[in-house]
Structure 1
Amino acid sequence: MVSSPHEAMHRIFQEYPGLFSRVTEVLGIDIPPPTSATLLPTDLTENSPVERRVDTLLRIDTQHDGPFLLAIEAQGKKDPRKTTSWPYYVSYLHNRYGALPVLLLVVCQDHATAQWAAAPITIGLPQWPTLTLNPLVAGPHNMPVIKNVAEARKDLALATLAAITHADNPDVGAILKTLSAALRDVPEAIAEPIAELTAQGLGNRPAAQQWRNLVAVDTSFYKSFMSEEIRDEGRAQGKTQGRAEGLLLIIEARGITLTDEMRAKITTCTDSQLLDQWLQRAATATSTDEVFTDSH
């Protein structure tokens, strides 16, 4: 499974289509709540060598205003190519799905990208635009900072999207702590996708490790891919620690004296291959130079 903020920012709407209604409330847009949502094919390629795919495409049905198409794009940085691809997406969908209204939602994680994405895209002459596209943008500039557990528990999907869009917020630790606390005592079937999407959304940021630690403490399920990763990391760390302890025992048994610096070098090493190399040398070494020669 791909693990990236890009996937999480649009896939969360596949998992929780009703989330769009809450997002529009936050953004102050009056769109009727959906009665149902259908996931549609994302391939927008025609008979052309250029392949075009929108990240997520949903058909949203409403009780009074009828259906519309919701195209969702996760945008991690400014991309000038989107000024041509986004209008194409909207025009193509409008034509393919029988003139259904089309709405483009762009989800971002930084202010600069969100500001860029929100700018209208105009096609035509300056004095007479033929087509103007106005993307709806959700990002750190308008998503709520949720640090109240009761508020997060009330709408876990929105709290998850808010945490993802605020991944670079200096106060992200408090945001994640609130979300993890909100998952306590939540059924596993609900908590697992929330934990997974949040991990994806944080990507390789420092906050990702903090989230993994919080999940390990605050939740009791260990079946998701993230929980497996936590356990795998723990096993790897334990094996590395065992190699270091074994190396110290062998060196001591051979009567080789270690300085505090050398001992720290062994106990802080996280390279299992290097530790194995030192172990092999220590079996026949008569000095520390023979153990650590050419080590990095």
Structure 2
Amino acid sequence: MVTSTHETSHRIFQDHPEVLFPVFEALGLPPPAKATIEALTPDATEIKPLERRVDTVLRVEPSEGDGFLIAIEAQTGKVRGKGLSWSYYVAYLHAKFGLPVLLVAVCRNRPTAAWAAGPFECRVGTWTSQATRPFVLGPDNVPEITDESLVARAPAMATFSAIVHSESENAPAILDMLARGMRSFDKATAKYWCEWLEVGLENTPVQETWRELEKMVATYFPGRGTLFEQTYLEGKAEGTVESILRVLHK
């Protein structure tokens, strides 16, 4: 089932590709800021018979070297048969666009990250015809943001880091630091990033911790029942009641 946490864990790359910095750094590529990055359709379905959809697909044109694709999958746990889907995604995108494909799996805990690293092999006897090895972004290679000043300088990375580390022991302290770091934001910016976090932390151990820390949240993800949205709807309802009472008293 696709959850809000799952959605946020991959969607953030579309709006803020700078979050890919750990991947580019590990692979010795120029920083994402120096590359042209374009979101492509995530649909990997052929003529029919089975619908397949990658979470996020980005086309990258580096400032140096050849272009490539990044297929991003958010994975909250082990899923049987996922390796087969990932192998298909890589092969299909490679054939469709004629570009090499980097598969990135985003994981919130170490057991899932270890499993997602693969390799997922298609083999007969001792011969491997195909091997799929995702690049994993997880607790071991996404740094915990502990510097309050970094929140203002790199809010996307700070937010993404908090989501990736949401199942760690340090998660409450990380969120507390984030809340303090957001004091330097203007109202609109604070709402924007608070909303990313609230939706991204849904169904995690620290969801309520964050709801207590946040002061105001924007309606960036409408229909999610976030704290700001609830407050807005309650206020709207109260306004409607007051309007009705005024009419009745005339």
Same fold (TM over 0.5): yes
- Which aligned segments of 4 or more residues in structure 1 are displaced greater than 4 angstroms? 221-225, 232-235
Corresponding letter in the other structure for 1:192? K
Shift of 1:95: 0.6
Shift of 1:230: 5.1
- 1:21-72 CA-partner distances (Å, limit 9, x unpaired): 24443xx331222321111001100013210000001111111112210100
Report the counterpart of residue 111 of structure 2 in structure 1.
112
Q: Is the CA contact 2:192–2:218 (under 8 Å) kept in the aligned structure 1?
A: no
Corresponding letter in the other structure for 2:64? H
The alignment's TM-score, normalised by the length of structure 1, stands at 0.71
Q: Is the CA contact 2:87–2:132 (under 8 Å) kept in the aligned structure 1?
A: yes
Corresponding letter in the other structure for 1:137? V
Matches within 5 A, 1:24-43: 24-25=24-25, 28-34=26-32, 35-43=35-43
Q: Is the CA contact 1:14–1:56 (under 8 Å) kept in the aligned structure 2?
A: yes
Report the counterpart of residue 132 of structure 1 in structure 2.
131
Corresponding letter in the other structure for 1:105? V
Report the counterpart of residue 92 of structure 2 in structure 1.
92
Report the counterpart of residue 214 of structure 1 in structure 2.
213
Distance 1:176 1:78 in 2: 26
Corresponding letter in the other structure for 1:154? R
Larger displacement relative to structure 2 (168-177 or 123-132): 123-132
Shift of 1:139: 1.1
3-state DSSP of counterpart to 1:132: strand
Matches within 5 A, 1:66-85: 66-85=66-85
Shift of 1:232: 5.8
3-state DSSP of counterpart to 1:183: helix
Distance 2:3 2:121 in 1: 34
3-state DSSP of counterpart to 2:47: coil
Report the counterpart of residue 184 of structure 1 in structure 2.
183
Report the counterpart of residue 273 of structure 1 in structure 2.
none
Aligned residues: 229
Corresponding letter in the other structure for 1:185? S
Distance 1:223 1:118 in 2: 35
Compute the RMSD of aligned alpha carbons: 2.3
- 1:250-279 CA-partner distances (Å, limit 9, x unpaired): xxxxxxxxxxxxxxxxxxxxxxxxxxxxxx
3-state DSSP of counterpart to 1:145: coil
Distance 2:3 2:72 in 1: 18
Shift of 1:182: 1.9
Larger displacement relative to structure 2 (103-112 or 205-214): 205-214
Shift of 1:212: 2.1
3-state DSSP of counterpart to 1:116: helix
Distance 1:112 1:78 in 2: 8
> Structure 1 residues 222 and 72, CA, compared in 2 at 3 Å: closer, same or farther?
closer
Report the counterpart of residue 7 of structure 1 in structure 2.
7
Distance 2:180 2:123 in 1: 51
Distance 2:173 2:233 in 1: 24
Report the counterpart of residue 54 of structure 1 in structure 2.
54
Report the counterpart of residue 165 of structure 2 in structure 1.
166
The alignment's TM-score, normalised by the length of structure 2, stands at 0.83
Corresponding letter in the other structure for 1:37? I
Q: Is the CA contact 2:22–2:141 (under 8 Å) kept in the aligned structure 1?
A: no
Q: Is the CA contact 1:21–1:31 (under 8 Å) kept in the aligned structure 2?
A: no
